[in-house]
Chain A
């Protein structure tokens, strides 16, 4: 639909592919009103090692789409920033040599400059353009740097180390129950230990191979629940709640103890990827929604709602360590708290009067809908955090 429309000012070196995409954008911008109601403008901004957007202009406030073209021989990250504090209005990441990518934003009153980051080189900035008046535009966010994240990562690392110490003791108790044939106590101690682990927020390989050993499910194993390769909390849960005998489970329990010790001992040397902390603020509950609230990871104990509660705790710990970075950058932080609180209180409501947990299949339709809705809304509120706290070069 508009492949024959060509923007007038395309850079001559632009590859055909780029021309097509620029054309599509121009059509989009021209034919359809943009959010701000002002017609969009589109202009090519060229960057290279020798200059970052030299000669670029802004006609005025409103929606603008810049076609950012990388004339250098290497990849670049290009940001449009506020010269006063380096806050980023918009960014194009991983812009390959000779390629163009659109950067779209609603320009408000303020100062703007392009900042180019080529590999292994200091940032270079281009000329500053100032838009006067009192127009509101896309707000800029001060980027989070690796330096900013070291402190929170250290705090989080220590918190996990402490949790793993606790966990080692709890799994030892659990294994002793099993060895001693006290399976009723083992069930109670299983839950205590499992929740401790879940509180640590081991979403998406946080603990490398240890997580699969300690908390893997039967999914993906040949033979499923009868696979001899299945180890860890869920394997033990399956046995305890499916009438398996203490003798059958002793090996499983002992293996769990040694795997937890292995993780505890390895942890001091394991690093936290700085990007991961932000990612995990929503990934922990993504997993909770997918596997716990669906009931999928219920191997018999009916405690997936308790797991979700532990996952909330783990999420809150991350929010706590990241709080100094988030508070000035994320206006939605209060809503995060609101929805996590609501979810936690719904989980409390779901317990039996004696405090026992109810499997999700035993919830009333209405309560289950409220829990799922609150989790989903919390996830929406959490999702910007990973983007905001992604470590960026400045």
Chain B
């Protein structure tokens, strides 16, 4: 098992625009946080509280800095027709992402503007139908990611395409990522001997509030693209071609926002930049150490090589409560400035926090999210994950609060060494009062599709591994 090349992962920096954040954590909310506008660079936080009590104290002290602050920027007039036209012209403008390769193409790119994660249970009857299902998903993904004009049905049937992208399907940067859950390896398909070594049902952590109806699944699909219509079109297309083979059980749509200010990192719905620090997807060495299951890994069936463990966590953010919390407390919970994303001990967004110089947590609290998620020590370097966070919005809850939060996803080579280690460090962090993980699952994102005759899951379903 790979040692981290860079022992202190330290935030090294790839400024991938996306999400990922520093460590790992799933806890959610990004970890990074940003500072408040007024205090960039303040080297020393004005005050510090012990946050283990979390929410209670926060609520009382919360000062509403945000609400009163007003917005410095306000549009003086609506967008012009020309501006709108330029924006529309970009629709579908993202180039195709090559579908074939050693790895699935949707794993390494920065978080897309729009994504959907859908979990399915397989209803295919036997191994043969299951292979048919995987082949069909592959065929549709191959077409949808490349784009093209769907064949006309003539007088032989209803139109072959929903038409929601117009007469020609635009690629719009679509990626289709398929994963399998541990339940697929039960007796139905004779796959029990091929269960990946680290694949289990998602563990329930002490701060979780899991809804079984929104947890787990035999299969998971993640569809990501530049726009919501592209993602929804792909989902409708794939579902239409696989109706008998699998049945959707839960789904979460997610989005990322533009980085504001430009050149920084997109924010989550707590207002903090999410995913400032992440392993560098451009570094094959880091990916081989942290993301891809390597051939010959002890205990892993051979078919898993080139795959990656895929964790999905549906995390509600209690933003009304959060918005009633004083900014200093927010920043201490995260460990970064809300406005700028700077670590509390630095004046640069991508600076590596120097926890060694702050052993008591005087500057960045020991319980802050970024510190627990990624302590940046040699020992914890190999627990880093490739984190991709998306915001979700699905209406309102029973008490009239917004039902919004984080669609957290991450990829890693070893669920236990990475995600679970990180998540275990985060147990009881002060932030848990403001977030509530309620669903998701553990999956293994399959190895890539090599060429036009290959299909997703071939090594699992047809191989001997």
Contact = CB atoms under 8 A, between A and B. Distances in A.
Interface of A: 1, 24-25, 27-29, 31-35, 40, 63, 88-91, 102, 104-106, 138-141, 143, 330, 339, 342, 365-366, 369-370, 372-374, 376-377, 379-380, 383-384, 387-388, 390, 392
B244 A35 contact: no
Nearest to A332: B157
B244 A141 contact: no
A250 to B, nearest CB: 42
Nearest to B125: A342
Contacts of B155: 88, 90-91, 141, 143, 387-388, 390, 392
A141 B154 contact: yes
A138 B149 contact: no
Given A88-B155, A139-B156, A141-B154, A373 B148 contact: no
13 contacts: A1-B93, A29-B149, A34-B149, A63-B149, A102-B167, A139-B156, A141-B154, A330-B156, A369-B121, A369-B123, A373-B246, A374-B123, A388-B157
B123 A35 contact: no
B154 A32 contact: no
A370 B249 CA distance: 12
Nearest to A91: B155
Contacts of A374: 123, 244
A88 B158 CA distance: 15
A26 B93 CA distance: 17
B55 interface: no
Contacts of A89: 154
Interface string B103-146: 00000000000000000010101000000000000000000001
Contact of B121 (A105, A143, A366): A366
Contact of B148 (A32, A342, A366): A32
B247 A373 contact: yes
B240 interface: yes
Main secondary structure of the interface of B (DSSP, over half): loop
Among the interface residues B150, B154, B166, which one has the most CB atoms of the partner chain A within 10 A?
Answer: B154
B147 interface: yes
A240 B114 CA distance: 50
Contact of B149 (A40, A370, A388): A40
A387 B156 contact: yes
A291 B155 CA distance: 29
A141 B246 contact: no
A230 B249 CA distance: 35
A380 B243 contact: yes
Contact of B157 (A373, A377, A383): A383
Contacts of B156: 139, 141, 330, 384, 387-388
A279 to B, nearest CB: 12
B154 A383 contact: no
Nearest to B120: A369
A82 B169 CA distance: 30
Contacts of B247: 369-370, 372-373
A104 B152 contact: yes
B123 A370 contact: yes
B133 to A, nearest CB: 11
Nearest to A376: B243
Contacts of A32: 147-149, 168-169
A253 B124 CA distance: 44
B193 interface: no
Given A372-B247, A377-B244, A384 B123 contact: no
Given A383-B157, A384-B158, A387-B156, A106 B245 contact: no
Contacts of B150: 35
B158 A387 contact: yes
Given A32-B147, A388-B157, A380 B240 contact: yes
